[in-house]
Amino acid sequence: MGASQSRSFTRRSSRSRSRSSSNKDRHRSQSWKEDAPDKKEREEMLENCGRKCFLGPGTSFPVCTRGTCEINPRGVQSAYSRAREWASITSHKKHNYKNAKTHRGYVEVANRAKHLLKNMRSRSSRSHTKKHH
């Protein structure tokens, strides 16, 4: 009895997982993953668009949509959340100079992303108020 109960539980959980994955498929076009540049595109983007498309050193933390030089709000949000995540991970590691520098780098990226997001939101709210008045 105990074994059959666990099997039925497993079946139910696999069904619920498949439903959630199909849900994700419906909303996939709205994700940053679809618009993010791959490694080769990042290098081309750095040559064509310059530093404005990257918040981190080199080609790390891209924020522009692939194939364009336009900053994507989802890219900025993704860079912010990833930088905050890595900043907290590096802060929990054993403290030494190298980790402190790495932590500071992620915090700087997160701060840049936060300022970009604020500016984007204020610009969009200003454009909405102009249309209504």
pLDDT tens digits along 23-60: 444 444 578 989 999 999 999 999 999 999 999 999 99
Tell me: pLDDT of 15 over 60: no
- At 98-120, the pLDDT tens digits run 777 788 889 999 999 999 999 98
Q: What is the pLDDT of residue 13?
A: 46
Q: Which amino acid would we find at residue 42?
A: R
* 53 in any annotated domain: yes
User: Is residue 20 in some structural domain?
Assistant: no
CB 90 within 8 A of CB 83: no
- Residue 68: pLDDT band (50, 70, 90) is very high
User: Cβ(17)–Cβ(42) under 8 Å?
Assistant: no
SS3 category, 115:
helix
Query: Does 45 reside within a domain?
Result: yes
| Residue range of the domain that includes 108 | 31-132
How many degrees, rounded to 5, is the angle at CA 45 between CA 32 and CA 115?
Answer: 55
Cα–Cα separations (whole angstroms), residue 45 to 36, 57, 76: 11, 14, 16
Asked whether residue 116 is domain-assigned, the answer is yes
Does pTM top 0.75 for this prediction? no
Asked if residue 124 is part of any domain, the answer here is yes
pLDDT band at 127 (very low <50, low <70, confident <90, very high): low
Q: Does any domain span residue 5?
A: no
Does residue 90 lie in a domain region? yes
The answer to whether position 18 is within a domain reads no
Say how far apart CA 15 and CA 47 lie, in whole Å: 47
Reduce the DSSP state of residue 64 to 3 states and report it.
strand
Domain total in the chain: 1
How high is the pLDDT of residue 17?
Answer: 47
pLDDT at 82 over 90: yes
Q: How confident is the model at residue 1 (pLDDT cuts 50, 70, 90)?
A: low
